[in-house]
Amino acid sequence: MSSLVPEKALLRILDANLDRAREGIRVVEEWARFALENGKLVDQCKSLRHELAALQSPTICQSRNTPEDPGTSLSHPDEEKRSSLTGVVRANFVRTQEALRVLEEYGKLYDASFTAHIKNLRYRVYTLEQIFNQSMSTAQQVFTQCRLYLVTSPHPNLVEVVEQALLGGLRLVQLREKTSSDSEIMRLGRALRKLCTDHRALFILNDRPDLALALECDGVHVGQEDAGVALARRILGADAVIGRSTHRPTEAMAALAEGADYIGVGPVYATPTKAGREPVGLEYVRYCAEQIPLPGFAIGGLDLENIDKVLQAGGTRVAVVRAIMNAPDPKHTTQQFLEKLHGQPQG
């Protein structure tokens, strides 16, 4: 083998990984620009890209031989799909960090100053990733702050009612359409998805992980007769908020074992939403609050008159349907619920 071959191979390795690092940073930069709208982070990304471009000397670029590169035709199933928008950002941080590690190791055979610069860039990318993680308000992070959960019911002005509730401070909405067609669910879902995005609220779909994926929902809620938590997680990804309806201790324990992010606890009182189902009462609320280490949303016949009893039983979160959907003033009613749940005036 000629002595020129190893040198050419080295230059091709550097060229390919400089490209990978720049491309990865560019994907991250777009998130900073259009999602976070953070000019400081955008500038940091641009600076990293320009420094990497400056390291890509003409000698390195001239080594490129894309037609004969076997790597261009290789792929992996994980590279062909992403579970969420934040998953795209995380994947490209990993891609960039891997490329920089390759550059640092092979750079030791190329030039000491090149290697030192790459090492500095690698640590800056680690720091940048930490900043991004703190800046990105993921569904899971937002969910931990939610105490009030609106579950919709059929209404001639459903979108308008939800909008008023969001204006009142609501941050968690579930679209529940048991008898509607897929096309109607998609129509309502698109409208609510936009509203929730505009108000920085989470949007959950009932029963249907497939449609939740199509609507880019933040999660899905499944009942005891629906697809399990594991299947919903495979469809929607690790960042999704997955809830499970429960009516007794064994179901609550099963939801915990399945990896649910929260449980519905009810129905506490008789409700037409769950016609024919025996109310579980406040004892089950108390049990879940004391024994189940998951957020539990008490649900079923709850209103501003009886919510205090739920709080006294240890409940800290409630899901409501008619109390807001049928309220004369959904915005004001939402504020009243939030005031009770958070202990301070809302609005």
- Catalytic residue numbers? 176, 245, 274
Q: Residue holding tokens 């029963």? A: 207
* Cα distances (Å, whole numbers) of residue 175 to 50, 220, 258, 272: 45, 9, 23, 17
Please classify residue 133 by burial: count the beta carbons closer than 10 Å to its beta carbon, then call 0-12 exposed, 13-18 middle and 19+ buried: middle
Is the Cα torsion angle 285, 288, 291, 296 positive or negative in sign? negative
Beta bridge partners of 319: 149, 299
Decide: 291 and 313 in contact? Cβ < 8 Å: no
Could you write out the three-class secondary structure of 169-234?
CCCEEEECCCCCCHHHHHHHHHHHHHHHHHCCCEEEEECCHHHHHHCCCCEEEECCCCCCHHHHHH
Contact 291/302 with Cβ under 8 angstroms? no
Q: Decide the pairing of beta strands 241-246 and 317-320.
A: unpaired
Amino acid at 339: E
Q: Which residue reads 């491309």 in tokens?
A: 23
